[in-house]
């Protein structure tokens, strides 16, 4: 039940965590999208503002071109030019009629002036009719480009901001320029357009800047008559000039216009859409207080948070109701399992459902019934196995007893034969011929071989019966190896040498009889399979163990057979059994006895080169001899080959 509850809690926790992570990711994405949309809207409004200004300037330009083509104005300029060529008369002598320019004025066209090609004033609606040097520059610019649009300027006398537009007056017959028409547009009309411009934000303002960043139009009328002030945008002007439109975030510009501090400023350049001869290089800018942008974003995020919290609450309610519905049948099944553990007859599960939990309850009932039937059958089989085990134990006891009795009966006459031959042969060897002496040696060798087989059977019987009463004592290994070598010397082939390279001082604590039997079996195995060369017995050490190794130069063992050589009654192949004889118990018995001493036997071998068997025993310093002799340490003895050097 706790597992199910933990799973449900985990699922609920992960769901809520997922909602929170989704909310965070959504909030981050919506924040970016909000600012992206806000920037797009601001740039669109700035572009719309500059297009509006351009269209109105284009309207003034069209009106200027229309007035410049009026016949009365053209005749006036032609006659004025002709009269100047004929005599040195001027406009004020009244001989040439002048057009009525005041009738051409509108709310947009505030003043009209007519200039000759050198910039001399011919006619104007201005109160001040004195020729100024500015007219000469305007006439020169109009002659060069056909159209001149100047920056707005403040007329201090009339307290107005005016924008000059100049166009050529051409002769209709040949199209040659004959004069210049200068219109001064009322900039207040443009300011009024900006003041009615919709920016979609409460703090939004629209302004018009020249190429140097000076303000000369603003949607707030309070800034119109403040003169052309610098906005402090010098650090941002390179970025503004670099792209046709964009958005800047300004923390503190140091501007004289407070609306330019801590704002988002979107800008758009005049693109020359109306094909002016010269692009004025103006920039329309829309500013919005950054606090308003953040406020709108926080409002949107607040609604998202409320929606996510409501969703999380509904999810938790759903998890609670689902958990309650899921836990009731599980609790019933758990209670039934508890009752079944106490009383196997109580297998009733009160779950009446058609879903997976109902199937689980029915499966449990069937399982409980099958388990009860299986227990009865298992008890019967256990009783049968118990009886069979008792029979096998009795058979093993009888087998071990028979082997022991037979071995003892065989060993007695063999000892008699060996003793008789060993006593008689030295006395009669000089009295018999070589053939008879060899026959006596053959009898002695075969008797020892049979005695070895009997000893192996006795050792096997002892290990099978589990008798392992150990009598620990200090054993001098060199003397014990010498004794074991003499026991197997009758099996040595001619030319084979047994080398005992163990120090006389080396001793360990062990059961002498068991250790002797292990070494005899290891030496017998080496002697049996070594036809020539050398058998070496030495010692080594690794970690906390001391090793006694027997290394030969015999037949060797293939790698695939190394794992089988310690099995009972096993030899390499049938031919080796027939050729070398033996029961196949020697190494198996040696391994069992090594385990009784708390050790093990390892082997390394190369086929055709020889083998190395090592008896590893726990190292224990003999008590009677003080500090034991130093033992040479062998690293990774398992991987040494018979051709390696040994200590």
Q: How far apart, in Å, are the Cα atoms of 383 and each of 370, 397, 495?
A: 20, 21, 61
Residue that the structure tokens 């700035």 belong to:
46
For the chain, give every domain's residue range. Answer: 46-291, 469-639
- Residue pair 529/555 in contact (Cβ under 8 Å)? The answer is yes
Structure tokens at 161: 């901001």
Closest CA to 617 of 590, 591, 598: 598
Structure tokens at 559: 């790698």
pLDDT at 222: 66
pTM of the model: 0.43
Provide the sign of the torsion angle of the four alpha carbons 80, 83, 84, 89, taken in this order.
negative
pLDDT at 548: 93
Q: What pairs with residue 508 in β-bridges?
A: 475
CA atoms of 375 and 367, how far apart (whole Å): 12
Which contacts of 96-105 are long-range, i.e. CB under 8 A and separated by 24 or more positions? Answer: 98/123, 99/70, 99/72, 99/73, 99/123, 101/125, 104/67
**Does 469-639 match 46-291 at the fold level?**
no
CATH classification code of 469-639? 3.30.565.10
Rg value, the chain, Cα? 60
pLDDT at 462: 65
CA atoms of 391 and 217, how far apart (whole Å): 118
Residues 6+ apart with CB under 8 A from 542: 616, 633, 634, 635, 637
Q: Which one-letter DSSP state was computed for residue 633?
A: B
pLDDT at 225: 47
Q: How far is residue 157 CA from its own chain's centroid?
A: 76
Q: What pairs with residue 222 in β-bridges?
A: none
CA atoms of 232 and 229, how far apart (whole Å): 9
- Residue pair 247/223 in contact (Cβ under 8 Å)? The answer is no
CA atoms of 575 and 151, how far apart (whole Å): 121
pLDDT at 135: 82
Structure tokens at 304: 């998202």
Provide the sign of the torsion angle of the four alpha carbons 60, 63, 65, 67, taken in this order.
negative
pLDDT at 89: 44
Sheet holding 263-269, edge to edge: 229-230, 214-218, 205-209, 283-289, 263-269, 245-250
Q: Which residues of the chain have pLDDT under 70?
A: 1-10, 12, 84-97, 129-133, 211, 213, 221-232, 252-260, 271-280, 301, 324-358, 361-362, 400, 403-404, 406-408, 411, 449, 452-453, 455-469, 569-583, 620-647
CA atoms of 49 and 397, how far apart (whole Å): 115
Structure tokens at 474: 């200090």
- Residue pair 108/60 in contact (Cβ under 8 Å)? The answer is yes
CATH classification code of 46-291? 3.30.450.20
pLDDT at 629: 43
């Amino acid at each position: 039940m706790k597992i199910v509850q933990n799973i449900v809690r985990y699922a609920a926790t992960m769901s809520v965590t997922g909602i929170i992570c989704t909310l965070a990711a959504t909030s981050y994405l919506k924040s970016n999208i909000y600012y992206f949309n806000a920037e797009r809207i601001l740039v669109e409004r700035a572009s719309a503002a500059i297009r509006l200004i351009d269209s109105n300037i284009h309207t003034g330009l069209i009106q200027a071109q229309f007035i410049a083509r009026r016949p009365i104005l053209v005749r006036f300029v032609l006659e004025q030019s002709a009269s100047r060529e004929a005599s040195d008369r001027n406009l004020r002598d009244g001989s040439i009629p002048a057009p009525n320019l005041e009738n051409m004025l509108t709310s947009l066209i505030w003043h009209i002036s007519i200039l000759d090609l050198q910039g001399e004033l011919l006619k104007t609606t201005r109160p001040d009719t004195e020729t100024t040097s500015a007219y000469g520059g305007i006439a020169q610019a109009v002659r060069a480009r056909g159209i001149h649009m100047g920056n707005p300027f403040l007329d201090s006398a009339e307290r107005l901001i005016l924008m000059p537009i100049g166009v050529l007056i051409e002769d209709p017959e040949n199209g040659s320029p004959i004069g210049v028409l200068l219109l001064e547009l009322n900039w207040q009309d443009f300011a009024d357009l900006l003041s009615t411009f919709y920016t979609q934000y409460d703090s939004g303002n629209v302004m018009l800047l020249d190429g140097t960043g000076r303000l000369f139009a603003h949607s707030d009328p309070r800034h119109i008559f403040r003169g052309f002030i610098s906005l402090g945008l010098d650090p941002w002007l390179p970025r503004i000039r670099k792209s046709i439109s964009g958005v800047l975030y300004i923390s503190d510009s140091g501007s004289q216009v407070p609306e330019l501090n801590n704002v988002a400023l979107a800008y758009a350049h005049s693109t020359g859409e109306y094909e002016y001869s010269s692009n004025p290089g103006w920039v329309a800018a829309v500013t919005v207080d950054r606090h308003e942008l953040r406020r709108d974003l926080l409002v949107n995020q607040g609604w998202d948070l409320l929606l996510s919290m409501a969703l999380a609450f509904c999810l938790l309610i759903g998890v609670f109701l689902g958990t309650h519905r899921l836990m009731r049948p599980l609790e019933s099944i758990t209670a039934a399992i508890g009752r079944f553990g106490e009383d196997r007859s109580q297998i009733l599960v009160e779950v009446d459902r058609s879903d997976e939990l109902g199937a689980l309850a029915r499966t449990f009932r069937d399982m409980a019934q099958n388990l009860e039937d299986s227990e009865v059958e298992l008890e019967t089989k256990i009783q049968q196995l118990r009886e069979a085990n008792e029979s096998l134990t009795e058979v093993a006891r009888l087998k071990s007893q028979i082997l022991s009795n037979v071995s003892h009966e065989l060993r007695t006459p063999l000892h008699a034969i060996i003793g008789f031959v060993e006593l008689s042969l030295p006395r009669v060897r000089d009295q018999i011929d070589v053939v008879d002496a060899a026959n006596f040696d053959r009898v002695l060798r075969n008797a020892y071989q049979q005695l070895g087989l009997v000893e192996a059977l006795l050792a096997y019987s002892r290990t099978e019966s589990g008798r392992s009463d150990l009598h620990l004592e200090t054993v001098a290994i060199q003397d014990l190896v010498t004794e074991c070598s003499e026991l197997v010397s009758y099996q040595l082939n001619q030319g084979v040498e047994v080398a005992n390279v163990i120090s006389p001082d080396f001793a360990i604590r062990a059961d002498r009889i068991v250790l002797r039997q292990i070494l005899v079996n290891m030496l017998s195995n080496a002697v049996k399979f070594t036809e020539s060369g050398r058998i070496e017995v030495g010692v080594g050490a690794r970690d906390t163990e001391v090793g006694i190794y027997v290394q030969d130069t015999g037949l060797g063992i293939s790698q695939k057979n190394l794992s089988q050589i310690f099995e009972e009654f096993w030899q390499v192949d049938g031919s080796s059994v027939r050729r070398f004889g033996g029961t196949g118990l020697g190494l198996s018995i040696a391994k069992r006895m090594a385990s009784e001493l708390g050790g093990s036997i390892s082997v390394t071998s190369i086929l055709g080169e020889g083998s190395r068997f090592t008896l590893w025993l726990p190292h224990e310093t003999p008590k009677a001899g003080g500090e034991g002799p130093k033992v040479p340490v062998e690293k990774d003895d398992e991987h040494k080959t018979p051709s390696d050097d040994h200590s």
